[in-house]
A and B are shown apart, each in its own frame.
Chain A
Amino acid sequence: MPLHYGSQLEEHHKVRTDAGMFDVSHMLAVDINGEAARSFLRHLVANNIDKLTQPGKALYTCMLNPEGGVIDDLIIYFLDETHFRMVVNAGTAEGDMEWILAQRDAMARGLEIVPRRDLAMIAVQGPDARAKVWRVIEGSQAVTENLKLFQAVLFDKYFIARTGYTGEDGFEIMLPSVDAADFWNALHAAGVAPAGLGARDTLRLEAGMNLYGQDMDQNTSPLESGLGWTVDMKTDRDFIGRKALMEAPVKRQLMGLILLDRGVLRSHQKVAMSPGKGGEEGEITSGGFSPTLDKSIALARLPLETAAGDEVHVIVRDKMLRAKVVKYPFVRNGKVLV
């Protein structure tokens, strides 16, 4: 996927107001097949796979290391009791596979783990995305119209999921790689605009969605990365990383920032806290320009004492720029929330 096809800003606005598409085939689908699939996933990931009771439902979760750091964030689809499908990040796919296979060998030898490099994935996102997909895949409207968010269905050669990474409605569609170019061209002819990695980043940032490697990684706790809602500790389920999470005190939190002065927030910029709000410095994990707000916004890891409404200073080159702490997401379904 290129950074942009034309103007990154236009690609961004197209997704917020109409429909855009991303070729996310670099992400890897991994099928987990076998009787022990559910019990294996119950142990492997931090969210509770038992939340998935209805075939087609999806779960967003982190996969943790024993130290409680995030190996990757992923989506798991429940197809049936002997078939689950994960979708993992591209940059981490190789390490994920090694880790998953090692866990499989240790606890569920009979389980089949199949990386699906034969599949392409195209995300079609925006308020008009679903209607445009329906025009392209004949007969798909009837089977996907009633899909709820985070639900998927297999239709013909297409795996159609109502998921995404933009804060807009739409589908993520897996299909055989050999058919991907034709499908892409048909979507384009139906008025779906190609969008690149740049727009994907500004859209997900506005939607307050984490990016692996920036907002969390092997050395950060999901509880300090805005991902506490994905870690299920309500039951006594024993999952990898649980013990470490329970023992480590949570000192920081991920919060949103809106820049009040002129400039652009970027990742790794330091945040100076106001007096009485924790002496420790904070750090921006993801920052950029929000095309929807026409302002710079960021996700930042800040001391736990920080609250929405606080004013902080971000160190940008030789200047201290004022920023307001907010709860994110910034934008959902085309609407500004902050």
Chain B
Amino acid sequence: MSIPNNLKYTKSHEWVRLEDDGTATIGITQHAQELLGDMVFVETPDTGRKLQQGEECAVVESVKAAADVYAPIAGEVIGANPDLEAAPEKINQDAYAAWLFKLKPVNIADLNNLLDAVAYQKLLESEH
């Protein structure tokens, strides 16, 4: 399983991508979608909502289970992926393309506290 080098990761299996305009795009990892299985419902946070780091802010539900998604960093929600309402299976097809929502970070430096691809790979190995 390849873990993209250009992303940051959380222990709760979210990924974050810092965009050129300083915003952050957030999704769940390939590992998370594999554990959950076929996705059937996604609930994303409303635009304008201010999130603390670690706050529950989205829900992904598969045929098996519901899982909370936590904000990897603090920030204000500036948009959610409109495709997922009709097609939550896009997360199964490509977890790193099917983003959930975008944040305007309070402090971009918060990203430094997250895992890089190597550290996330190690985390996954330690969970097996």
Using a CB–CB distance below 8 Å, which chain A residues touch chain B?
A: 3-4, 7-9, 198, 202, 262-264, 266, 288-289, 291, 296, 317
Contact B41 A9 (CB under 8 A): no
Give the distance in Å from the alpha carbon of A9 to the alpha carbon of B88 in the complex. 13
Contact B37 A4 (CB under 8 A): yes
Question: Which of B9-17, B57-65, B112-120 makes up part of the contact surface?
Answer: B57-65
Instruction: Find chain B residues with CB under 8 A from A7 CB.
Output: 37-38
11 contacts between A and B (CB under 8 A): A3-B37, A8-B64, A202-B63, A262-B85, A263-B41, A263-B61, A264-B40, A289-B40, A291-B63, A296-B40, A317-B59
Asked if B76 CB lies within 8 Å of chain A CBs, one says no
Interface size on B, residues (CB 8 A): 11
Residues of A within 8 A of B59 (CB): 317
Q: Give Cα A196–Cα B85 distance, bound, in whole angstroms.
A: 27
| Beyond A262-B85, A266-B66, A289-B61, 18 additional pairs, beta carbon < 8 A | A3-B64, A7-B38, A8-B37, A8-B38, A8-B63, A8-B64, A9-B38, A198-B37, A198-B63, A198-B64, A262-B43, A264-B40, A264-B41, A264-B61, A264-B66, A288-B63, A291-B63, A296-B41
Chain A interface mostly helix, strand, loop or mixed? loop
Q: How far does the alpha carbon of A262 sit from the alpha carbon of B41 in the complex, in Å?
A: 8
A295 to chain B, nearest CB (A): 10
Q: Are A289 and B41 in contact (CB under 8 A)?
A: yes
Residues of B within 8 A of A (CB): 37-38, 40-41, 43, 59, 61, 63-64, 66, 85
The smallest beta-carbon distance between B19 and chain A, in angstroms, is: 28
Residues of A contacting B85 with CB < 8 Å? 262
List, in ascending order, chain B residues with CB within 8 A of A3's CB. Answer: 37, 64
Specify which chain B residues have a CB less than 8 angstroms from the CB of A8 in the assembled complex: 37-38, 63-64
A-B contact count (CB 8 A): 35
Kindly report which residue of chain B lies nearest to residue A259, judged by CB atoms: B41
**Complex CA distance for A296 and B38, rounded to whole angstroms:** 14
Task: Output the least CB separation between B41 and chain A (Å).
Answer: 5
CA distance A3 to B43 in the complex (A): 24
Q: How far is the CA of A202 from the CA of B62 in the complex (A)?
A: 12
Nearest first, the 9 A-B pairs at minimum CB distance are A289-B40, A264-B61, A9-B38, A8-B63, A264-B41, A289-B63, A8-B38, A8-B37, A7-B38
Whole-angstrom CA separation of A264 from B66 in the bound complex: 8
- Residues B43 and A263 in contact, CB atoms below 8 Å apart: yes
**Who on chain A is nearest to B40 by CB?**
A289
Q: Which residue from chain A places its CB closest to the CB of B68 in the assembled complex?
A: A317
Bound: A291/B39 CA distance, A: 11
Interface centre among B40, B41, B63 (most CB of A within 10 A): B63
Q: Which residues from A are CB-within-8-Å of B63? A: 8-9, 198, 202, 288-289, 291
Q: Chain A contacts of B38 at CB under 8 A?
A: 7-9
A8 vs B63: C-alpha distance in the bound complex, in angstroms? 8
On chain B, the residues within 8 Å of A289 by CB distance are 40-41, 61, 63
Chain A residues whose C-beta falls within 8 Å of the C-beta of B61 in the assembled complex? 263-264, 289
Shortest beta-carbon distance from B76 to chain A in Å: 20
Complex alpha-carbon distance, A275 and B5, angstroms:
56
User: What residues on A are CB-neighbors of B40 within 8 Å?
Assistant: 264, 289, 296
Max count, chain B CB within 10 A of own CB: residue among A4, A262, A264:
A264
Residues of A contacting B43 in the complex (Cβ-Cβ under 8 angstroms): 262-263
Cα distance, A221 to B85, chains bound together (Å): 40
| A264, closest chain B residue (CB) | B61
Q: How far is the CA of A262 from the CA of B61 in the complex (A)?
A: 11
CB distance from B40 to the nearest CB of A (A): 4
